[in-house]
Amino acid sequence: MKIVLPGSTIGVLGSGQLGRMFAIAARRMGYRVHTYSPDRDSPTGQVADVEIDAPYEDLDRVRDFASAVDVVTFEFENVPAATAETAAQYALVRPAGDVLHTTQHRLREKTFLRQHGFPVTNFEAIRTSEDLLRTVPGFGPAILKTAGFGYDGKGQYRVSSPADAQAAWQKMAHQEAVLESVVDFEAELSVVGVRGQNGDCAFYAPSANEHVGGILDISASPSPFTKEVAETAIEITRGLLEQLNVTGVLCVEFFLTRDHRLLVNELAPRPHNSGHLTIDACITSQFEQQLRAVCGLPLGSTEMLRPAAMANLLGDVWAAGEPNWAAALALPDVKLHLYGKTEPRPGRKMGHLTATAATPEAAAALVRTARSHLLS
């Protein structure tokens, strides 16, 4: 058990918005932050003490980075295994690299879930053309997803015939893939959980999530599902934190089927977009929890002070010029978070808005109104 006290230095692999919000939480509690990624003037680098821009494959630079910090964590799970292993030779790495190894690859992740008895969407591994020809007929409506390096619906194709599937696989340059049944879900939800160094766990109330084009659009919490659904989702998350032996934050994304079963869709061993509302709505944010967990400190309360909803701001919001920030902020219960990215490309996560209100439905309506005001 190693406790990393305020005043120490945390290393963050990755430099996007998750690292930025983590760094803000860490600096508020008196820690220093070093970030490592191939980018310069990154969302995390802008608020960190030190920004190292070097390839993940440059293991000499990774060694120097890890040697200068007290604990290393991630904000990005597609860090190569060799990078995590090298960092672990010079610093404590939390969560451990094998958690990353399982969750950064859809096939490994889904196989882990199935082998450990967690409810998961029906799937098959696709490694050869023969696998596709054998599996697609009789499989029903399906989605073909790349096994590695996919997120936010990238590298995913709906397929209904062997010809479709071959064309989709061609677009993926014949990379290893997962063929997954399309779930006719009633809703999507997620649970952010955290596990401390001593095995203590804490959970946020599930969020109800709406995606557009495979990207999260709106999260609202507490979710409108039954107590039983919420409790089951939390117990599955607890089981996963324990089975994966996570020290840190884990987000579990679920489908709720029309017959009220929960299926695990995806795991993220880090703070998650659907947990951003915890910054403005909960006693302890998901980023502060990650900090407390990786530093071996007691976890904070996950209690929600007020129902909340979050709306993502993608680059598309800039299509007609600078958004009207003042119009959104004229609603006093709305908070603006921008990630310091200069190029607002379509589909790129640039920031988010959070609204709090008396009910999650009212918060969702308010955050949508605020976002529409940006275009006024």
Sites of contact with ligand AMP (CB under 6 A):
121, 143, 151-153, 180, 182-183, 188, 211, 214, 253, 265-266
DSSP state of 140: -
CB of 360 vs ligand AMP, minimal distance in Å = 19
| Cβ proximity to ligand AMP, 150 vs 323, nearer residue | 150
Q: How far is Cα 200 from Cα 195, in angstroms, rounded to an integer?
A: 6
Backbone angles phi, psi at 211, to 5 degrees: -105, 150
CB of 59 vs ligand AMP, minimal distance in Å = 30
Q: How far is Cα 196 from Cα 253, in angstroms, rounded to an integer?
A: 21
Count other Cβ atoms within 10 Å, centred on residue 326.
10
| Cβ proximity to ligand AMP, 259 vs 322, nearer residue | 259
DSSP state of 205: P
Q: How far is Cα 150 from Cα 57, in angstroms, rounded to an integer?
A: 19
DSSP 3-state assignment of 324? coil
CB 304 within 8 A of CB 249: no
| Cβ proximity to ligand AMP, 90 vs 151, nearer residue | 151
Q: How far is Cα 310 from Cα 218, in angstroms, rounded to an integer?
A: 6
| Cβ proximity to ligand AMP, 85 vs 152, nearer residue | 152
Which residue type, as a one-letter code, is found at position 364? A
Q: How far is Cα 101 from Cα 354, in angstroms, rounded to an integer?
A: 32
CB of 265 vs ligand AMP, minimal distance in Å = 5
CB of 8 vs ligand AMP, minimal distance in Å = 34
Name the pairing type of β-strands 92-93 and 123-126.
unpaired
CB of 76 vs ligand AMP, minimal distance in Å = 15
| Cβ proximity to ligand AMP, 188 vs 280, nearer residue | 188
Q: How far is Cα 26 from Cα 16, in angstroms, rounded to an integer?
A: 15
CB of 46 vs ligand AMP, minimal distance in Å = 27
| Cβ proximity to ligand AMP, 8 vs 181, nearer residue | 181
- What are the residues whose beta carbons fall under 8 Å from the beta carbon of 373, sequence distance 6 or more? 324, 327, 328, 330, 331
Name the pairing type of β-strands 50-53 and 32-37.
parallel
CB of 145 vs ligand AMP, minimal distance in Å = 6
Longest Cα–Cα distance in the chain: 59
Q: Is the peptide bond before 137 cis (omega within 30 degrees of 0)?
A: no
| Cβ proximity to ligand AMP, 62 vs 250, nearer residue | 250
| Cβ proximity to ligand AMP, 197 vs 265, nearer residue | 265
CB of 212 vs ligand AMP, minimal distance in Å = 9
| Cβ proximity to ligand AMP, 28 vs 158, nearer residue | 158
Find residue 336's DSSP bridge partners: 353
**Nearest-CA neighbor of 44 among 19, 77, 74, 22?**
19
CB of 61 vs ligand AMP, minimal distance in Å = 30
